[in-house]
Structures are given as C-alpha cells and as structure tokens.
Amino acid sequence: MLTAGESHGPALTVIVEGVPAGLALSPEAIDRELRRRQEGYGRGQRMRIEQDRARILSGVRQGMTLGSPIALQVENRDYPHWAHTMAPQVQPEQEPGAEAGARWRSRPVTRPRPGHADLAGALKFGFTDVRNVLERASARETAARVAAGAVARQLLAAVGITVVGRVVRIGPVEADPFDGSAELDWAELARRAEASPVRCASETATRAMMEAIDQARRDGDTLGGIFEVAALGVMPGLGSYVQWDRRLDARLAAAFMSIPGVKGVEVGLGFELASRPGSAAHDPILYGPVPPLQWTPSPEAPGYFRPSNRAGGLEGGVTTGQPVVMRAAMKPLSTLMRPLATVDMASHEPAEAAVERSDVCAVPSAAVVGEAMMAWVLAEALLEKFGGDSVEELRQAVEAYRRRLARR
C-alpha cells in the first residue's frame, strides 16, 4: 500500500496493490472499519467533524476486485476550514477582515511540541513552518491504512482468517492482559471490547479507564496505553526463517511500530518471557484431538496442538497455527493543553509548545489501526506463500496445502 495526504488537505488516498481478482469487496465493511477507528472515549473535536468513508476510485467493478490497483480516497471534511492554508498554489496574505480562525490557521507554527515530529522534521526538511511537518506526521494518515487494512481483512476472510483487538491498559488502569493461554476466547473478548467506549473487554476497567481519561483532560494532560491484536484461523507456515527480513514476527513488529505513538511491541508473552525459565516459557507439542483455536487440517482427526500459546502463534518467524498475538505500547499524545517547555524557532526564545485542539487518549483508535496492520502483513504473507491471480486460485492453493498437512 502507498498512502498520500495531509491531515488538513482535501483527502487521504491509498493505493492497494496485489489484491487478486474475484474478491467480493464490501464498501460497507471498509466504512465500518473507518468508523471504528474514529471512535473511542478521549478523542477530540476533529472526530466530530470527520465522518470517514472510502470512495473506491479503481480496481473494483460490480462489487468484484479486478486484480488491478485499488485506489481508495477518504475525504477530509475539515478541509474547507483550511483551504487557504493548505492550498497547493501560493496564496495572498489573509485580509485583515478575514474570519479570525482562517487568519489563525495560516500563521506559521514555530513552537515545536516535544514528543511529536515537529522539531526533528523541521530540521530534517529545512522548514521554518512546523505545519509542513505536522500535516503529514499526523496520525490522520492511519485512516488510509485502515481502509487498506479493511481490504486485506476481506481477503483473509476468504480463507477463514479473522483479526480482533482490544485495549488492555490506559494510563494507570490495567485490564486482564494476554496470559499465554491457548483457550482465550478472543471472539467473545472482541464482542465485549466492541461495546466498550475504550475498546476494553472488562466493564469495571472500562469505567476506570474513562475516569482516568476525564482526569487527564481536567489536568490538561494526555494518556497512553497498551492494546492487543490477535489473528484467528491462521494456518501454520506463513513467514519464514530463511532471511532476517522474512521473519513474520519482525515484519509484524515493524508494522505495529509504524503506528504513530507506538514505542514498544511484544509477540505473545514478549518481555514476560525474559524472566521465566524455559520450562515455563515454551508451548509443549502434543498430538491428539485438536482444541478449537488451533488451526487443523481436519477438525475430526487428531493432529498437532499446543496446550498454551506463550509464543503468540509464531516460532522461528513462522506461524504455528495458533492465534497470532501482538501487543503494543503507545506513549501519551504529545499535544498537551498545559504545554511543555519548548523553544520558539523564529526567535530562539523559551516558549510554551504550540497548542491546537487535540485528543486526550487515542489508544482505542490505535488498536483498530493495529488490527489493520496485522491484517495487512498477514495478507502479504498469505499471498507470498499461496499466490494466485484470482481468489479462486488462492483458495485452491490453500486447500491443496491443507490436504498435504492432513497427511503429516
């Protein structure tokens, strides 16, 4: 996928390349994901302006993918307020009589926010107006990724793979994080998370998280947290150990790390594994009736399975047939209503960091972006292993593999 678009420009665009022909693509399912990304207690005024929907510009005809690049566009409804500031052509100075907001928006931003890309980006590109940085560094870009991820999800669904996510920490409040169990009912957790304003499966923790967000808002502060994403129904054998950059854990980690604000990523039990002896860290291999969450070539026959999933469905950079489980830690957002110290880049004088409107907490949204990134990386790995110009060819290749594994 290749995304383009500034946060306050006319639109975000994403080109999704490599989707096989013959996939029945639901525009509603794409818009549903876009809506989920916008939700979440702690989001700011911008999300009341936007109503993200994907316009399909290419690659789909009569509800079916054509195998050609799929171009998707998400309009920025905020753009009309920024049309003067964001115009590609040189604009005349705002008239003194212009609307106050328009004049404010066109002023150069010179007080970089600690924690955002502002200072590093301005130094890198030689900008005197930090707006040139923040427009693209903004997580608005993740709407384009979620649209692409929604296409990947529909491809994965064609071979029985689903992706779910949930929030397990916001600031000081923690809620039942992944414990390495092979029986965790991810689908039920996802159902409950979907009903929670902070995307958390526990009702008690949801209330405490919302209170923590309210308190941060009152304090002019922001909060980070941790989210988990799991992919269910993944067959063993995606990814590879034969080169460093084909290890699927490495690719998933990079994809999660690319979400703005994410500073830590774990696979399965992750950092917890460091303090355990090997006997309590790995997942023994058994053969017999296969439990529900373990992928198996034939549900009626005995097969390989694991009594635990501490590895998070990945060994040697290859999927094991257990749920693929990733966790990510997001730092608190960098725009503080009680700003941190910075330096005005125009005068070199000490100053308070620039304040525009901002979210207080975006961990629930980041979890949806995490689901999209998981879907994207798995769809790539699926196509690498099984290929196919059409979804029918892909299905046949998966089915042939299933039959081969049934004889092992």
Ligand X SMILES: C=C(O[C@@H]1CC(C(=O)O)=C[C@@H](OP(=O)(O)O)[C@H]1O)C(=O)O
316 labelled as ligand-binding? yes
CB 231 within 8 A of CB 159: no
Residue 143 or 336: which CB sits closer to ligand X? 143
Residue 10 or 264: which CB sits closer to ligand FMN? 264
Query: How many angstroms separate the CA atoms of 353 and 342, rounded?
Result: 5
Structure tokens at 61: 């005809």
7 labelled as ligand-binding? no
366 binds, among ligand FMN, ligand X, none (CB under 5 to 8 A by kind): ligand FMN
Site for ligand FMN in 36-65 (CB under 6 A): 44
Residue 140 or 199: which CB sits closer to ligand X? 140
* Sign of the alpha-carbon dihedral angle for 49, 31, 142, 15: negative
* Sign of the alpha-carbon dihedral angle for 294, 310, 181, 162: negative
- CA dihedral in degrees (118, 120, 121, 127; nearest 10)? 90
Report residue 228: phi and psi, to 5°: -120, 145
Nearest to 202 by CA among 215, 213, 217, 191: 191
Report in angstroms how near the CB of residue 19 gets to ligand FMN at its nearest. Answer: 25
Site for ligand FMN in 362-401 (CB under 6 A): 362, 365-366, 369
Does 260 sit near ligand FMN (CB under 6 A)?
A: yes
Does 141 sit near ligand FMN (CB under 6 A)?
A: no
390 binds, among ligand X, ligand FMN, none (CB under 5 to 8 A by kind): none
Rounded to 5°, the CA angle 299-302-306 comes to 90
Other beta carbons within 10 angstroms of residue 69's beta carbon come to 15
Binding site for ligand X (CB under 6 A): 7, 44, 46, 50, 138-140, 143, 260, 356-359
CB 354 within 8 A of CB 112: yes
Exactly one of 139, 255, 329, 377 binds ligand FMN (CB under 6 A); which one? Answer: 139
Does 353 sit near ligand FMN (CB under 6 A)?
A: no
Residues in binding site:
37, 43, 136-138, 316, 331-335, 357
What is the binding site for ligand FMN (CB under 6 A)? 44, 115-117, 137-139, 142, 259-261, 333-335, 358-359, 362, 365-366, 369
